[in-house]
């Protein structure tokens, strides 16, 4: 299978500029961030340190990582230079993520349950992770398919999500009625790494963590990178309602971000996705988009909902243009269709009980063009 647009998209100078790091890693011209992070030495007693001490060291090593990213860009994948340290900066991240399971705060719900002892928060997960499927995805944005247009995105679908979207198209794995075991296979960090390795060796352009949502599985994704022994761009495909702690753990591991920006209105987020965490949806997502845009390449997805141009679509596009528009690509998506609870109870959600109209999509595109947003190569 060949996607011609996945080849032609790289002729666009703005695509090449805005996704330059990702493209370099995809072509094995530059090591993925996780490989560089894994080569940075950390103190030998990390298991004995308090979480505050771990974070202090983490912030210091983060600066070292940023310098190494600059130095190693375009240097090729030199396995000798990238020999894993023991313990490494990645091991430090793994230790912090494991501690966070004791008082879960991977997302801004901040449930603070002890998942290691079997407690469950909004996502429903304990210290476990389930994969529903993995495959070479040829339907993602053109730059994510590979420069030859045929590799596909190495997509790993996790079971569970920290949102409850009433129109979810993946509801059968986000919140499966038969339980997590019925929707997916339980994986440990080594098995997750093997899945990623096989996808990359099979020609995948990247490793695409999605779901559901990867956020509740942040801890095991980070740990799996300890065992991933092939160069591969790491792609974070998320609703972006991550906590600040998760962002700090991920920002020097993720090579390209693929976040959703669903709503501008917190009221819409609460009503349609039941987002009622400790921090408002807009406050969390705008913060995280800003952080990600400073530390990596990004394609933002915005799904245009019917009747939501004024309350969500236009304010989102305006914010992107004013804050990070010169650094990111935007996929203005027309794929909305009534699914899940909207399909079975349309009278409860009359505003979104139909598909987005042609006129609404044209208005969204026109407004994006007025703002100077680069969207056509990926929309």
Q: What is the pLDDT of residue 1?
A: 66
Give tens-digit pLDDT for 95-111.
999 999 999 999 999 99
CATH architecture of 4-371: Alpha-Beta Barrel (3.20)
296, HSE (Cβ side, Cα atoms, 13 Å): 29
Q: What is the pLDDT of residue 203?
A: 96
Residues 304 and 270: their CA atoms lie apart, in Å, by: 17
Report whether pLDDT(313) > 90.
Answer: yes
- Average pLDDT, integer, range 203-227: 98
Q: Give 285-341 as a DSSP string.
A: HHHHHHHHHHHSEEEEEEEPPTT-IIIIIHHHHHHHHHHTTTT-EEEEE------HH
Q: What is the pLDDT of residue 362?
A: 98
Q: Kindly give, in sequence order, each residue whose CB lies less than 8 Å from that of residue 377, ignoring residues fewer than 6 positions away.
A: 9, 12, 14, 15, 142, 143, 329
Q: What is the pLDDT of residue 152?
A: 96
Evaluate whether 306 touches 351 at the Cβ level (below 8 Å).
Answer: yes
Mean per-residue pLDDT over the chain, rounded: 97
Residues 263 and 340: their CA atoms lie apart, in Å, by: 19
Question: Given the DSSP bridges, would you call strands 130-137 and 153-158 parallel, antiparallel or unpaired?
Answer: antiparallel
Evaluate whether 278 touches 243 at the Cβ level (below 8 Å).
Answer: no
Residues 122 and 111: their CA atoms lie apart, in Å, by: 7
Give tens-digit pLDDT for 178-187.
999 999 999 9
Q: What is the pLDDT of residue 150?
A: 84
pTM assigned to the model:
0.97
Residues 128 and 145: their CA atoms lie apart, in Å, by: 30
**Beta-bridge mates of residue 136:** 154
User: Which two structure tokens, joined as six digits, stand for 95?
Assistant: 């230790």
Give tens-digit pLDDT for 328-361.
999 999 999 999 999 999 999 999 999 999 999 9
Give tens-digit pLDDT for 43-70.
999 999 999 999 999 999 999 999 999 9
Q: What is the pLDDT of residue 218?
A: 98
Report whether pLDDT(243) > 90.
Answer: yes
Residues 156 and 137: their CA atoms lie apart, in Å, by: 9
Residues 285 and 267: their CA atoms lie apart, in Å, by: 14
Residues 340/334/4/296 CA torsion (nearest 10 deg): -90
Report whether pLDDT(149) > 90.
Answer: no
* Tokens 């792609």, residue located: 235
Q: What is the pLDDT of residue 81?
A: 87
Q: Kindly give, in sequence order, each residue whose CB lies less than 8 Å from that of residue 277, ignoring residues fewer than 6 positions away.
A: 107, 108, 109, 110, 122, 241, 284
Q: Phi, psi at residue 193, to the nearest 5°? A: -65, -40
Evaluate whether 209 touches 156 at the Cβ level (below 8 Å).
Answer: yes
For the chain, what percent of residues have pLDDT higher than 90?
97
- Average pLDDT, integer, range 86-90: 98
Q: What is the pLDDT of residue 77?
A: 94
Give tens-digit pLDDT for 291-312.
999 999 999 999 999 999 999 9
Angle among Cα 51, 207, 166 to the nearest 5 degrees reads: 80
Evaluate whether 374 touches 18 at the Cβ level (below 8 Å).
Answer: yes
Report whether pLDDT(148) > 90.
Answer: no
């Amino acid at each position: 299978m060949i996607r011609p647009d996945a080849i032609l998209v790289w002729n666009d100078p703005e695509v090449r500029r805005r996704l330059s790091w990702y493209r370099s890693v995809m072509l094995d011209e530059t090591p993925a961030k996780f490989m560089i992070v894994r080569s940075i030495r950390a103190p030998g007693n990390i298991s004995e340190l308090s979480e505050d001490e771990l974070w202090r060291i983490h912030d210091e090593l983060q600066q070292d990582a940023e310098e190494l990213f600059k130095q190693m860009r375009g240097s090729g994948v030199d396995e000798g230079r990238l020999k894993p340290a023991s313990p490494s900066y990645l091991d430090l991240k793994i230790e912090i993520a494991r501690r966070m399971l004791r008082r879960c705060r991977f997302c801004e719900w901040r449930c603070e349950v002890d998942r290691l002892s079997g407690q469950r928060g909004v996502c429903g997960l304990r210290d476990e992770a389930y994969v529903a499927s993995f495959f070479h995805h040829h339907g993602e944005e053109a730059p994510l398919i590979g420069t030859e247009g045929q590799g596909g995105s190495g997509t790993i679908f996790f079971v569970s999500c920290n949102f409850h979207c009433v129109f979810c198209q993946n509801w059968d794995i986000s919140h499966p009625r038969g339980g997590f075991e019925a929707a997916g296979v339980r994986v440990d960090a080594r098995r997750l790494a093997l899945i990623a390795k096989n996808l990359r060796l099979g020609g995948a352009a990247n490793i695409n963590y999605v779901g559901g949502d990867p956020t509740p599985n942040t801890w095991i994704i980070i740990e799996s990178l300890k065992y991933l022994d092939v160069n591969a761009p790491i792609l974070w495909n998320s609703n972006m309602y991550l906590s600040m702690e998760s962002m700090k753990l991920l920002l020097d591991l993720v090579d390209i971000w693929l976040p959703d920006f669903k709503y501008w209105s917190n009221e819409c987020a609460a009503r349609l996705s039941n987002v009622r965490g400790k921090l408002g949806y807009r406050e969390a997502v705008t913060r995280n988009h800003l952080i990600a845009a400073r530390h990596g390449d990004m394609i933002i997805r915005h799904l245009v909902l019917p009747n939501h141009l004024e309350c969500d679509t236009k304010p989102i596009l305006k914010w992107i243009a004013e804050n990070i528009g010169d650094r990111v690509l935007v996929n203005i998506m027309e794929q909305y269709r009534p699914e899940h609870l909207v399909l079975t109870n349309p009278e409860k959600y009359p505003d979104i009980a139909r598909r987005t109209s042609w006129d609404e999509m044209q208005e969204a595109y026109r407004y994006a063009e007025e703002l100077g947003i680069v969207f056509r190569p990926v929309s």
